Amino acid sequence: MNEIIKGMAVIKMYAWEQHFSQLISDVRKKEMSKIRGSTLLRALNISISIISDKVIIFTIFIVYVLTGEHLSAEKVFVTMAIFNTIRLTMTFFFPYMIGYAAEIYVSCKRVQKFLLLDEIHLKGIQYKESDLDVKKNSNGFNIALIDAQITNRCNDGNSIFVDNVSAKWDIDSDIITLQNISCSLQTGELLAVVGPVGSGKSSFLMSLMNEIEVTTGAVQVEGTIAYAPQESWAFNATILQNILFGKPYELQKFRQIMSVCAMDRDLKQFPFGEKTLVGERGVSLSGGQKARLTLARALYSDADIYLLDDPLSAVDSDVAKHIFEKCITGYLKSKAVVLVTHQIQFIQKATKILVLKEGRPLAYGSYKGLCESEVKSENKFKSDEIISEELMASQELFPRKRTGSSVSAESDDNTRECEQKLVDESKATGTIKGRVYWDYVTAGAGPVLLTLTIVSTLAYQGLFHYTDIWLTDWTNAEDSRNRSEEYTQTDNIVIYSVLMSATFITMIIRSVTFFMMCVIASVNLHNRIFFRLMRAPIAFFENNPIGRILNRFTKDMGIVDEQMPLCLYDLISIAAQLIGFLVVVAFVNWYLIFPALVLIILILLIRWIYIKTARDLKRFENMARSPIYNHMSTTLSGLATIRAFGTQNMFMNQYYRYQNDHTSTYFMCFNSSRAL
């Protein structure tokens, strides 16, 4: 769901809704098969827990009578009272304890598996099997080392030292992402990394940040790192907060960075300048604006080493030239810069060039040296041909139009103002309308299933109470008959057995039909929600955070799948038992119905007072959960950036604040329900 929501624009552009709907449907079917099995077992357990005391008492009385003993009222009602006392503990709480213990065990194992995963080492990167003197890789492919010979020392003044490095994303996989790469970079130098799409340029930057598993070779990075990813990342805050990224605000420095990143003109066009909200995933900004915001964040960190992953691809040629001259070769001239780019026209000014192809180094050295030398492979060809081929591979069919910086001054101010605002999550007020419950019932039950559930519920409740009434008549008859007369118990035993069998069968039918109705309702409601989500306009996804949407498909659907059936079943059972007890009481002693009605009115009054608070507390608890999902999604999307800038504590503290808000509301909601 997270990937689908993030890529909804692409899905709609290519009309892939049906394909991804089928993927979600397949996953949902697997989930519902497990839920359906657990639901049937839960229905069986509840049925047994409710009817178990009746079955046990029936067995005891039948055996007692068949042995020739007299069944008196004293023995019957004392026995029933004892079993009713232990029934709830042995048939309800004990099975639930076993179920919850199994869930806790599975959850603990999953958490343990996650906590035992290998952790990233943020400092001192040294890897095994380093061979510092190798100049040729294992495939016999010679690497051009022109004007940039690599020494066998890691402390020769280099900011970055990479020697014969091989890496892959999955340590258990046979696919090697990077193979035998060597290079070095000192302060004040610019290393341009070029190559066709999929050649491993971004993975090379990941290896410098220790985000990819390095299998062989040595990597040493001296100094702080600033990283500008290829896919621009922004969190839901103002432009200023995205650029500062936890750093103190310096006006002169901020304005200078805006100028070299060609963003000063954009700030003047935003309705609130640098205080404009970028929105969820930077939806208020164009692609070029997000790329320059990411670059400005890197510049403001004032790091020693800058890793720039293709920052020029999202802007037009004029802005790209401005950024390269004013920012990369101007503002960062005293820094060590690694620039991944497809803009080959700029690499002549690079100190060193690293050409990659299929994860292997094709050439390495200065531009002049590469043009003058030949790179040896299976077929010899000139180094300038490598660059020309790369230029042709990265050339676009149509010229890129400038976006973001050239927004017309006559743009609709109201539209721009709306784009920078997020729609607040609404909270319903007042009681829940009966239409909501009816929609839930109709979503899961057709006429046949609904009728069968109602009839089995009424039949079970009638048989449940009539069994006690008939048992009372039997004991009264036993007490009043003459002991000296011969008396057969066969008829009584048969009638009692039939009543108990009918009660058990109707109980099973009621439980199974009700829970199957709830399962069908869960499937249909999920399909309806997802159907409407896939057909929602893009503006919906731009104005609603991912966490808010995920909250509906995770916790809220989990409540509908698991908690809602139990709550409704308890409600129906308690209501049916209450009505049944009133009927029995009225049948035995009609005047006892008046104190019973007084108690019912008192309970309804207490419920009316409680429900107003509990309902709003539950709504607040649900609302407090959405920021947690949203923050986790944002953090995972920009994890490489967060680690590179060393701002893990800032995001962890923000998560703790969201978690505390949710925990406090949940604690209050739980305590209020336990109090009554």
pLDDT above 70 covers what percent of the chain? 82
Q: What is the pLDDT of residue 112?
A: 92
Domains of the chain, CATH where assigned: 2-117+431-675 (1.20.1560)
Report d(CA 25, CA 17) in Å as an integer. 12
Q: What is the pLDDT of residues 21-61, one digit of tens each?
A: 888 888 888 888 888 887 777 777 777 777 777 788 888 88
Rounded mean pLDDT, 307-320:
82
The residue behind tokens 């906590």 is 115
Name the CA dihedral angle for 583, 589, 594, 597, rounded to a multiple of 10 degrees.
-30
Report d(CA 261, CA 328) in Å as an integer. 9
Cβ atoms of 338 and 307 within 8 Å: the answer is yes
Rounded mean pLDDT, 118-135:
46
pLDDT at 63 over 80: yes
Q: What is the pLDDT of residue 126?
A: 39
pLDDT at 147 over 80: no
Q: What is the pLDDT of residues 352-399, one digit of tens each?
A: 888 888 888 888 888 777 776 644 333 333 444 444 454 444 444 333
Report d(CA 355, CA 76) in Å as an integer. 92
Choose the most confident range, by mean pLDDT, from 70-74, 512-516, 581-585. 512-516
Cβ atoms of 162 and 217 within 8 Å: the answer is yes
- State the greatest distance between any 2 C-alpha atoms of the chain, in Å, as a whole number: 126
Better-predicted residue by pLDDT, 521 or 416: 521
Report d(CA 426, CA 624) in Å as an integer. 12
Q: Which two tokens stand for residue 138?
A: 């294992």
Report d(CA 391, CA 286) in Å as an integer. 26
Q: What is the pLDDT of residues 329-343, one digit of tens each?
A: 888 888 888 888 887
Q: What is the pLDDT of residue 131?
A: 37
Cβ atoms of 542 and 420 within 8 Å: the answer is no
Report d(CA 520, CA 443) in Å as an integer. 7
Strand, helix or coil at 182?
strand
DSSP 379: S
Residue/partner pairs of 96-104 with CB below 8 Å, 24 or more apart = none
Q: How many helices and strands (H and E) does the chain possess?
A: 24, 12
| CA distances, 440 to each of 316, 435, 445, 521 (Å) | 53, 9, 9, 6
Quick count: other Cβ atoms within 10 Å of Cβ 440? 19
Q: What is the pLDDT of residue 108?
A: 92
Residue/partner pairs of 567-572 with CB below 8 Å, 24 or more apart = 568/514, 568/518, 569/46, 569/511, 569/514, 569/515, 572/457, 572/514
- Provide the angle, in degrees to the nearest 10, between the axes of the packed helices 17-66 and 447-480: 10
User: Which run of H or E residues covers position 455?
Assistant: helix 447-480
Q: What is the pLDDT of residue 485?
A: 56
pTM beyond 0.75, yes or no: no
Q: What is the pLDDT of residue 149?
A: 41
Cβ atoms of 255 and 218 within 8 Å: the answer is no
Name the CA dihedral angle for 130, 136, 141, 142, rounded to a multiple of 10 degrees.
130
Least confident of 126-135, 439-448, 666-675: 126-135
Better-predicted residue by pLDDT, 416 or 481: 481
Q: What is the pLDDT of residue 524?
A: 87
Q: Which two tokens stand for residue 228?
A: 């500008």
Least confident of 137-141, 241-245, 389-393, 576-580: 137-141
**Residues in Cβ contact with 196 at an 8 Å cutoff, skipping those fewer than 6 apart:** 357, 390, 393, 394
What residue type is assigned to position 586 of the chain?
A
How many C-alpha atoms does 80 have within 13 Å on its Cβ side? 15
**Residues in Cβ contact with 570 at an 8 Å cutoff, skipping those fewer than 6 apart:** none
Report d(CA 477, CA 486) in Å as an integer. 14
φ, ψ dihedrals at 31, nearest 5°? -65, -45
Q: What is the pLDDT of residue 481?
A: 64
Better-predicted residue by pLDDT, 527 or 404: 527
